[in-house]
Amino acid sequence: MDLTGLGIGTWNIGEDPKKKKDEIAAIRYGLDNGIKIIDTAEMYGEGKSETLVGQAIKGYDRSQIYLISKFYPYHATPKLERKSLEASLKRLGTDYLDLYLLHWRGSHRLSDTIRGLEDLKKEGLIRQWGVSNFDTPDMKELFSVPGGRACFANEDLYNLDHRGVEYDLLPWQEENKVNFIGYSPFNSGKGNTIRITHNLKTVARDHDATPHQIMLAWALRSGKILSIPKSGKVSHMKENIAAQEIKLNDDELRLINSDFPQPTHKLPLDMI
């Protein structure tokens, strides 16, 4: 499956029983309307997100869904990776993952992490493996380790407020054929929000859209990355799906850039 376009993020989903019905409905609406990629992690609600995703996808053709999950950096040894994966698979109700990511850099040697992941891949328990919250130096180090060039994807924060990856990481990943997954396109992972500027409102009005739809259309504009907004309600999922049809022209992009400038030098990798 092509790892570009729109996916479903699940950070903070599955943690409130009162929201369970709406969250499952939102995921199923996405699956029923063309979205095939779901991103989760053992960290999210300490497995509650994976459990909810497993309930949401029950009854669907597993081969038509691309499941991504992540493991803690302190589980990044062959033995602990296997233990984490087995627990994730049980919660998700599946016998394999399409993509398994190291959630962020830890203290374990990358060579050990890769060895464990390659073993899981050979056994068919995962189809591909990758990393998350890696910057350009991290990726270069990963590629210097035996087996590191098999990294399929890297997932990082990417939105209008956090564009640092554009300076060097995105070009490096494109050159080295590593897929890029951008999380938190609305910067809402910890309740933060991107400021709604006059220009954003203007562009949104011209497209009969919301400013948040413009933020998502902007993140998707290159057609080369996967963006994974969280949607806990069907109404939000509908808005996200509709945002895929918004094409921003050069004048609109210049307006947006005037409020949220492109990086002109190397910036520290942002995480939320």
Annotation marks residue 29 as catalytic? no
233: exposed, middle or buried (Cβ count in 10 Å: 0-12, 13-18, 19+)? middle
Task: Name the active-site residue from 29, 44, 100, 183.
Answer: 44
- Tokens for 200, please give them: 């954003």
Q: List the end-to-end C-alpha distance of the chain, in Å, as a whole number.
A: 27
Handedness of CA 221, 250, 133, 117 (dihedral sign): positive
Helix-helix angle 198-206:211-219, to 10 degrees: 90
The rounded distance, in Å, linking the Cα atoms of 142 and 148 is: 5
Amino acid identity of residue 82, one-letter, is: R
Alpha helices in the chain (DSSP H): 20-32, 48-57, 78-92, 110-122, 136-144, 169-175, 198-206, 211-219, 234-243, 250-259
Distance CA 124, CA 108 (A): 24
Catalytic residues: 44
